[in-house]
Structure 1
Amino acid sequence: MKLSRISSSRNWQLKVALAALILPVFVSTVSEAQVSQMLKAKESEAQKFVVSMNKAQQVYYAEKAGFTSSVSNLLVYMGRQIKPNSANYSYSIGMVSKAAVFNYGVSKQANLKSFVGGVFLVGNKTQTILCLNVAPGKTKPANPTNTKGVLACSANTAKVAQ
Structure 2
Amino acid sequence: MIPSSRNWQIKVAIAVLTLPVVFSPVSEAQVSQTLKAKESEAKQFMGLMNKAQQVYYAEKAGFTSSVSNLLVNVGFQNKPDTANYSYSIGMVNKAAVFNYGVSKQANLKSFVGGVFLVGNDTQTILCLNAAPGKIKPPNPTNTKGVLKCAAGTEKIAQYNYF
TM-score normalized by structure 1? 0.85
User: Equivalent of 1:59, from 47, 55, 58?
Assistant: 55
Identity, % of aligned positions: 79
Per-residue CA distance 1:94-128 (angstroms, 9 max, x = gap): 00000000000000000000000000000000000
Aligned to 2:26: 30
Asked if residue 94 in structure 1 is aligned to residue 90 in structure 2, the reply is yes
Question: What amino acid sits opposite 2:45 in the alignment?
Answer: F
Aligned Cα root-mean-square deviation (Å): 1.9
For residues 101 and 39 of structure 1, what CA distance do their matches in structure 2 show? 27
5+ unaligned residues in a row in structure 2: which ranges? 1-9
Per-residue CA distance 1:47-95 (angstroms, 9 max, x = gap): 1111100000000000000000000011124443331211110000000
Aligned residues: 149
For residues 77 and 47 of structure 1, what CA distance do their matches in structure 2 show? 20
Aligned to 2:65: 69
Bigger helix share:
1
- Contact kept, 8 Å, 1:84 with 1:92, in 2: the verdict is no
Aligned to 2:37: 41
Asked if residue 136 in structure 1 is aligned to residue 132 in structure 2, the reply is yes
For residues 74 and 24 of structure 2, what CA distance do their matches in structure 1 show? 40
For residues 99 and 146 of structure 1, what CA distance do their matches in structure 2 show? 10
Asked if residue 50 in structure 1 is aligned to residue 46 in structure 2, the reply is yes
- Contact kept, 8 Å, 1:53 with 1:78, in 2: the verdict is no
For residues 37 and 73 of structure 2, what CA distance do their matches in structure 1 show? 24
5+ unaligned residues in a row in structure 1: which ranges? 1-12
TM-score normalized by structure 2? 0.85
SS in 1 for 2:92: strand
Structure with max Cα Rg: 1
Question: What amino acid sits opposite 1:124 in the alignment?
Answer: N
